[in-house]
C-alpha cells in the first residue's frame, strides 16, 4: 500500500510547533530571573549556527546584561559592609569574568535578521585583582588565628588552619609564608596513636603473640592526620593509646572420639535372567532370553576417629585519650581457632562408601597442635577485626 505524501505546509507547521516550546522555555527562564540557565541554553543553541535565532540572541543579550548588573550591585553592596566578606566578593567577580570570557567567541553576535546584540560588558579586571588580594589576605589572617590555636594544642584548629592556607593558595600562590605555615599546621594537626597490648588474662602470653597481633597493614589506617605506631618512640608525644586488652585465653583439652557407622547403597551388579510364571527363563518374541540389570545392596562399615582441640581469645580494643586520661571508646573482640581432623578406615565393599566417607578414608591421626601454635592461629583470626576497628577510629580522633 502506497503512503500518502506529507504536504509541505503540514511539515513546516510541525517544525514550527516543535520549535515553539524551546523558544518559549528560554523566554520563561529570562522572565523568571534564571539568567545563568538562560545563558547556558542560549549559548548552546547559538554556537556553530550560521543563522542565529533572534529569540535566542535576544534572550542571551538580556540574560547577560541583567546578570552582570546584578553581580556588580551585589559586589558593591557587600563591599559597603563593616566586615567585608572578600571571599564572596571575589567569587562574584570571578563568575562575572568567566561569563564574559565564555561569550567572547560568539562576538560580534548578529541574528539572522541582521540585528546585532548589545552586550554591556563590565571592566572587571581591576575589581577582581583587588578582591583577589583582599581575599588572600583575609583567608591568610583566618589561617593565622587558627594556627595560633593549633600551637596551643587544639588539633582541630590546626587542621582548619591547614585548609585555610590551602584556600589562600587559590588566590595567591605561596602568599607570604603560607607554604611554611601550612606545613607547620599539618604537623600540629597530626594525632599520634600508639598501639599497645595489655595482658589482663592472668596467664602467660605465648612467645610471638604480641608481634603477631601487631603485624597489621597500615595502608588503610595512616592518613594525613593519624599516625599509628606499633612500637613506642621516645621522641614522639602521643595523643591516644589503642589498647588491645587480652582478658582471657582458653585452650580446650585434646579430644579424641570414635564412632562406627555403616554406609549402604543399592548398585547395579551385572545382569540376571527374567523368569516366567513357571520359573523358566522368559523369552522375547524372537526367542531370545530376556535379561535385566541385577540390583544388589552393598555395605561398608566405617570406623572414624575425630580429633578436636580449640583455642579462644577474648578481650577488647580500648581507645584511651592520654591527655584527658580516660577511655573514649571500647569494643569487645573475640576469636576462636579450631583444630579438627578425621581419620577413617573401613571394612566391606568400597562401592558403598559415601562421598564424605571416601574423602576421609586413608587419613591417619595427626599430632595435636601445641597450645601456643593454636593460640597464634586464634590471633590470626582476630587481626582483621582489630585492623578494621583501628581504621574506623577516625570517627573519634
For 161-212, give the DSSP string.
HHHHHHHHHHHSTT-TTHHHHHHHHHHHH-EEEEEEEEE-SSSPPPTTHHHH
Q: What's phi and psi for 172, nearest 5 deg?
A: -140, 125
**In whole angstroms, what is the distance from residue 91 CA to residue 121 CA?**
18
| Predicted local distance difference test score (pLDDT) of residue 7 | 47
Question: Where are the domains positioned within the chain?
Answer: 17-122, 131-189, 190-397
Distance of CA 232 to the CA centre of its chain: 31
Cis ω for the linkage preceding 108 (within 30 of 0): yes
**pTM exceeding the 0.85 threshold for the entire prediction:** no
Cα torsion angle, 368, 371, 372, 378, sign: positive
SS3 308: strand
| 190-397 CATH, one of 3.30.310, 1.20.120, 3.40.190, 3.30.160 | 3.30.160
Contact 59, 109 (CB under 8 A): no
**In whole angstroms, what is the distance from residue 146 CA to residue 159 CA?**
8
| Predicted local distance difference test score (pLDDT) of residue 192 | 92
Tens-digit pLDDT profile for the chain (397 aa)? 444 444 444 444 444 333 434 445 888 888 887 888 988 888 888 888 888 899 999 999 999 999 999 999 999 999 999 999 999 999 999 999 999 999 998 889 999 999 999 999 999 999 999 999 999 999 999 999 999 999 999 999 999 999 999 999 999 999 999 999 999 999 999 999 999 999 999 888 888 898 888 888 776 777 889 989 988 999 999 999 999 999 999 999 999 999 999 999 998 888 888 888 888 888 888 888 888 898 999 999 999 999 999 999 999 999 999 989 999 999 999 999 999 999 999 999 999 999 888 888 988 899 999 999 999 999 999 988 888 888 887 777 7
**In whole angstroms, what is the distance from residue 288 CA to residue 277 CA?**
17
Q: What's phi and psi for 270, nearest 5 deg?
A: 75, -155
| Predicted local distance difference test score (pLDDT) of residue 223 | 82
| Predicted local distance difference test score (pLDDT) of residue 276 | 84
| Predicted local distance difference test score (pLDDT) of residue 274 | 86
Amino acid at each position: 500500500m502506497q503512503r500518502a505524501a506529507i504536504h509541505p505546509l503540514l511539515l513546516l507547521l510541525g517544525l514550527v510547533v516543535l520549535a515553539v516550546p524551546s523558544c518559549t522555555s528560554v523566554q520563561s527562564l529570562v522572565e523568571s530571573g534564571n539568567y545563568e540557565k538562560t545563558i547556558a541554553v542560549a549559548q548552546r543553541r547559538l554556537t556553530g549556527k550560521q543563522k542565529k535565532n533572534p529569540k535566542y540572541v535576544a534572550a542571551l543579550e538580556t540574560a547577560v546584561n541583567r546578570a552582570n548588573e546584578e553581580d556588580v550591585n551585589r559586589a558593591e553592596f557587600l563591599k559597603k559592609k563593616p566586615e567585608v566578606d572578600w571571599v564572596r566578593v571575589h567569587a562574584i567577580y570571578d563568575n562575572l569574568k568567566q561569563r564574559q570570557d565564555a561569550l567572547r567567541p560568539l562576538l560580534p553576535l548578529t541574528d539572522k535578521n541582521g540585528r546585532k546584540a548589545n552586550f554591556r560588558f563590565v571592566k572587571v579586571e581591576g575589581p577582581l585583582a583587588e578582591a583577589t588580594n583582599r581575599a588572600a589576605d583575609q583567608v591568610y589572617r583566618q589561617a593565622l588565628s587558627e594556627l595560633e590555636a593549633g600551637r596551643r594544642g587544639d588539633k582541630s584548629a590546626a587542621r582548619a588552619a591547614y585548609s585555610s592556607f590551602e584556600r589562600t593558595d587559590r588566590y595567591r600562590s605561596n602568599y607570604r609564608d603560607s607554604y611554611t605555615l601550612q606545613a607547620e599546621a599539618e604537623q600540629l594537626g597530626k594525632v599520634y596513636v600508639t598501639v599497645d597490648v595489655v595482658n589482663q588474662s592472668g596467664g602467660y602470653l605465648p612467645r610471638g603473640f604480641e608481634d603477631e597481633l601487631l603485624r597489621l597493614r597500615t595502608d588503610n589506617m595512616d592518613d594525613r592526620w593519624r599516625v599509628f605506631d606499633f612500637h613506642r618512640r621516645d621522641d614522639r608525644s602521643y595523643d591516644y593509646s589503642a589498647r588491645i586488652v587480652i582478658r582471657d585465653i582458653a585452650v580446650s583439652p585434646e579430644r579424641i572420639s570414635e564412632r562406627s557407622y555403616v554406609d549402604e547403597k543399592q548398585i547395579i551388579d551385572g545382569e540376571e535372567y527374567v523368569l516366567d510364571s513357571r520359573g523358566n527363563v522368559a523369552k522375547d518374541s524372537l526367542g531370545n532370553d530376556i535379561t535385566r540389570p541385577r540390583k544388589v545392596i552393598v555395605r561398608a562399615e566405617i570406623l572414624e576417629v575425630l580429633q578436636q582441640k580449640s583455642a579462644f581469645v577474648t578481650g577488647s580494643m580500648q581507645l584511651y585519650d592520654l591527655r584527658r586520661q580516660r577511655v573514649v571508646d571500647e569494643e569487645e573482640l573475640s576469636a576462636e581457632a579450631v583444630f579438627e581432623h578425621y581419620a577413617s578406615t573401613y571394612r566391606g565393599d568400597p562401592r558403598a562408601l559415601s562421598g564424605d566417607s571416601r574423602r576421609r578414608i586413608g587419613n591417619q591421626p595427626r599430632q595435636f597442635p601445641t597450645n601456643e601454635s593454636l593460640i597464634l592461629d586464634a590471633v590470626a583470626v582476630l587481626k582483621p577485626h582489630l585492623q578494621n576497628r583501628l581504621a574506623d577510629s577516625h570517627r573519634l580522633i
